[in-house]
Structure formats: C-alpha cells, structure tokens
C-alpha cells in the first residue's frame, strides 16, 4: 500500500474517533464591508458595514475542526452569563455533531474577538475578555463532567488560550486523569511556563511560543530541534510538534526521531485558526490509532487547506483526502470525489433528470475487459459513477502483492475515460454502503455474476431501478496479465 493510501485510510478512520476537547471558548465575530474613503477625523479607513457573522472561536474552533473531519467531539468549557455566552451555547447546540458541556459562571466576561474585513483583507480586531481563573465551585463542576466524559474518549485535547479555563492546577489535574486512563493528551499551549502541561503526550507550540517557553533560539532546523528536546526532557513529554508558518512543521519525539514537514499551503489568505486545525487534526488522528508522524502529516495538509480560506475556517475530511491525492499526482479534472461530495453531485444530476448508473471494482492494470464493462455501463445510463476499491481493501481481497498500482493512479486512469463521469474510492470490502448512499438507478456488473449475487441489487431494485449484467471479454483479467508478465 502506498504511503499516501495509508494516510487516506487514516483520515477515513477519523469518523469513529471520540475527541474530548477542553479549553477557552470564544465568540468570533466577523464584520464585512467595503472601504471607499478615509475618515476626515483621522487617517483611518471608513468601513461601510454590509453583513456580520459569528462562529465558535478559541477552543470552539478546535471542536469545529474535529467535527469537520468527521470525528465525534465533546466540548467542555466555561462562559459568562451574558449575550456572547448564550450565543456560544446556541452555536454549540446547532452543531449536532458536538456533544455540549458548557458551564456558565456568573460575573465572567465571555471572550469576544471581533474582526473587521474589507475586500477579503482584515483591517482590525477588537477583543473583550476575562482572563482570571475559574472559581473553585465552577472548577469542581468542570472536573465532574470530565470524569464522566473521559472514559469514552479516544483522546483528550487541551486548547489553552490563557483565558483562565486551564489555569493551574486545572491542566495538571486533567492530564493526570487522562494518563491514568491510558488516554493520549494533545495540548495547544499558552504562556511561558509549560511545566503545567507535564506528562502530556504532545505539545503544539508555534515557533515564537517555543522560543518564549524555552529561551532557546529557533531560527534554524537545528535550533527548533534543540529547543523541542529541551521541552520534552523538562516536561516529560512524548513529543513536540512545532508549527513554523512558511517553513512547515517539525515533529521531535522523545526517542530521538525528528521529522521536518514542508509547508503544504499553495496560497495563503488568512492564518487565523490554523493552529486550531493542527491540534484538532493531530488529536483526532492519534485518537484513531495513527502514529504521531502520521497525525502530524495529516495535520500539515489540513493546515495548508485552512490558510487558503478567509477567516477562522475548518478543513473537511474530503478536502484533506483530495489534498493528499493531489500530492500523489491525482488529477482527474474534477471527476474524483469522496462519498459526501459524490452524493451532492448525484443529487444535482437527478435534478436535471439524468439517470445515474453505478459499477465498481479494483480496476488494477486497466485492460480491454474493463473498458468494455465501462462502455456497456455508460450505455445503460446518462451519468456513470465508478466505485473504486481502496488499496487496503484490494489487499484484503486480492492478497498482499496487490494492487499493482495505487488507488491514486487507478482513479486517475479511470477518470480519464470518456465513459466515466465520477470516481469514488471506498475502503470497505464491498460497495454496499456507497450504493446505499448514492441510490443509483442502474447497477452494472459483469455477466460472471447473477442478479441475486450482485452487491446492492436489492437496494436498487427496491427503488424501481434495474441491474444490468455486462458481457465479458474472454481471457481478459488483471490476474492473467500479471501471470503473463511473471512468466516472461
């Protein structure tokens, strides 16, 4: 299985991962407008406000990123008894993927960050906040919720924005509870005293934060590694993942391993919230069973996606998969999609009254038999979707020496055919769930099957669709082609 295919499979596993996030909730407000004059009162632009929006910020943005990746986030935080606090509660409740645990503390000012934009450029940010520690009764209430939620979580995330939620001794108590249960802990740190995060699995400081916390220079690769190792030794960590802006990321592990990951962004519009994306993606990946390096690589790709968007954006799982495939030279002129995107495309086709056909296979070493099957399938419908077995599922079906070509290469070849309108890679052994999601009008398989043995036939027929058994081309199969090559 190719390296990219392993990472794609890791992204697919995020859907079953439970992530418990604790940290400072904020309300991010965005004011959008236009500027066409300078104020006569001072040399500043006058913004004509056109629209406003609000979303979860701070630790809430970490949770939004976890949900966008398809994982199952739980969010524990504290807000004030004010309008902004109630708006945060409403935003959490509206996101059905988030399990809420928002506590209200009287007298606390809910943190609000208001950003002003014109022509996609940020002009100003105004903050309102409380930075004091939690009152003892509120801290006890939060810990009680943690004790109930932590056993079911795959990973604990501490998103510290220095607003008091994780002020000592809270972070230490949370890390100790998680480690006693064998849960990994990912910390997005704040301040200069990282000893409060002692025992965490991995910290994710940016370059400036690493310098401030250690007092070490961080100008070169070697400097960053030395500073990270000092932090690992001093705080009893398993690793440090330092985000380095245009220089990418550096992962330093306690065992001595060092990995420099180049920046993935192709265009940078706004770095707001990119660190939240990194910690969310890394945590979800580790919680799903990925290694620290695998998690860091996926997080690096996700960060490259969000900095190409304006505002505190998120990276969706299908965007991460597409970016990974892009790095594997996957193109396909927009014909290659994940399942969720494919469902949207098929819905648009149906609104135009196109009939949708579906066929599937490994399509390893494309041969005339494959081409004949695809042409017959396209003749039976207006638009043809091809379900393609992932590398992992091909290995399970065909053995450890297959596939000969990666899923990226196989999808690229399929998408280049005129008969194929969409290619969707699936990781299961059969396309049953994909067929269930797409609900095709026509299901096509080779004549070596019977209608009763075609996976998904009953689903299609129940909706009034039909099953087509395509004629086979004698002597054509990937297995035979491989045997002939081996014989030579």
pLDDT (tens digit, 9 = 90+) per residue, 282-333?
A: 999 999 999 999 999 999 999 988 887 655 578 888 788 877 866 544 444 5
Distance CA 323, CA 327 (A): 6
Q: Do 265 and 386 belong together in one domain?
A: no
Distance between CA atoms of residues 151 and 121, nearest Å: 44
Distance CA 295, CA 136 (A): 36
Mean pLDDT, the chain, rounded, equals 90
CB 92 within 8 A of CB 75: yes
Give the domain CATH number at 196. 3.40.1190.20
81-93: average pLDDT: 95
Q: Among all residues, which ones are annotated catalytic? A: 276
- Say which residue the tokens 């992962």 belong to: 251
**Which of 298, 327, 356 is at the close of a domain?**
327
Q: pLDDT exceeding 70 applies to what percent of the chain?
A: 92
Rg of the chain on CA atoms, in Å = 26
Residues 298 and 413 in one domain: no
Whether omega for the bond prior to residue 169 falls within 30 degrees of 0, making it cis, is yes
pLDDT at 281: 97
17-74 pLDDT, tens digit each: 999 999 999 999 999 999 999 999 999 999 999 999 899 999 999 999 999 999 999 9
Look at residue 128 and tell me whether its pLDDT is greater than 60: yes
Which residue range forms the structural domain that includes residue 320?
A: 3-26+56-111+130-327
Residue 37 lies in a domain: no
Are both 281 and 341 inside the same structural domain?
Answer: no
Give whole-number Cα distances, 210 to 16, 196, 206, in Å: 32, 15, 6
What average pLDDT score do residues 186-192 get? Answer: 96
Confidence at residue 271, expressed as pLDDT on a 0 to 100 scale: 58
Same domain as 282, residue 336 = no
DSSP state of 428: S
Whether the full predicted model's pTM is greater than 0.85, yes or no, is no
């Amino acid at each position: 299985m190719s390296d990219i295919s392993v990472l794609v499979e890791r992204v697919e596993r995020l859907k079953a991962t439970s992530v418990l996030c604790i940290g400072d909730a904020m309300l991010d407000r965005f004011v959008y407008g236009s500027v066409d004059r300078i104020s006569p009162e001072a040399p500043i632009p006058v913004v004509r406000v056109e629209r406003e929006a609000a979303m979860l910020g701070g630790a809430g943005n970490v949770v939004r990123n976890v949900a966008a990746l398809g994982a199952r986030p739980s969010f524990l935080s504290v807000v004030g008894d004010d309008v902004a606090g109630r708006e945060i509660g409403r935003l959490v409740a509206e996101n059905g993927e988030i399990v809420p645990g928002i506590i209200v503390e009287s007298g606390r000012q809910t943190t609000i960050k208001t950003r002003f934009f014109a022509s996609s450029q940020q002009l100003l940010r105004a903050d309102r906040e409380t930075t004091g520690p939690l009152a003892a009764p509120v801290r006890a209430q939060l810990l009680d919720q943690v004790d109930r939620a932590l056993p079911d979580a795959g990973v604990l995330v501490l998103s510290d924005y220095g607003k008091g939620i994780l002020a000592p001794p809270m972070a230490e108590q949370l890390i100790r509870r998680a480690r006693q249960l064998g849960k990994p802990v990912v910390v997005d740190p704040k301040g200069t005293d990282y000893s409060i995060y002692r025992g965490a699995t991995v910290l994710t400081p940016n370059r400036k934060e690493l310098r401030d916390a250690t007092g070490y220079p961080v100008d070169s690769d070697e400097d960053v590694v030395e500073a990270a190792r000092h932090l690992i030794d001093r705080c009893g960590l398993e690793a440090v993942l330092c985000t380095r802006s245009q220089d990418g990321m550096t992962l330093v592990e306690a065992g001595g391993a060092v990995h420099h990951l180049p920046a993935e962004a192709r265009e940078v519009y706004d770095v707001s919230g990119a660190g939240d994306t990194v910690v969310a993606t890394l945590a979800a990946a580790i919680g799903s069973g990925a290694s620290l390096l695998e998690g860091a690589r996926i997080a690096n790709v996700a960060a490259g996606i969000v900095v190409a968007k304006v505002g505190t954006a998120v990276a969706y799982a299908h965007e991460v998969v597409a970016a990974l495939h892009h790095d594997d030279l996957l193109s396909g002129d927009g014909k290659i999609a994940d399942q969720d995107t494919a469902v949207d495309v098929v819905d648009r086709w149906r609104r135009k009254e196109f009939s949708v056909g579906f066929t599937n296979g490994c399509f390893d070493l494309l041969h005339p038999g494959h081409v004949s099957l695809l042409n017959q399938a396209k003749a039976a419908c207006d638009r043809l979707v091809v379900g393609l077995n992932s590398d992992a599922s091909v290995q399970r079906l065909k053995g450890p020496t297959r596939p000969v070509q990666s899923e990226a290469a196989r999808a690229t070849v399929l998408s280049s055919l005129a008969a194929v309108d969409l290619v969707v890679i699936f990781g299961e052994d059969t396309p049953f769930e994909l067929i269930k999601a797409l609900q095709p009008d026509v299901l096509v398989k080779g004549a070596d099957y019977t209608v009763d043995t075609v996976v998904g036939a009953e689903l299609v027929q129940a909706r009034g669709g039909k099953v087509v058994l395509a004629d086979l081309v004698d002597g054509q199969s990937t297995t035979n082609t491989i045997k002939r090559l081996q014989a030579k």
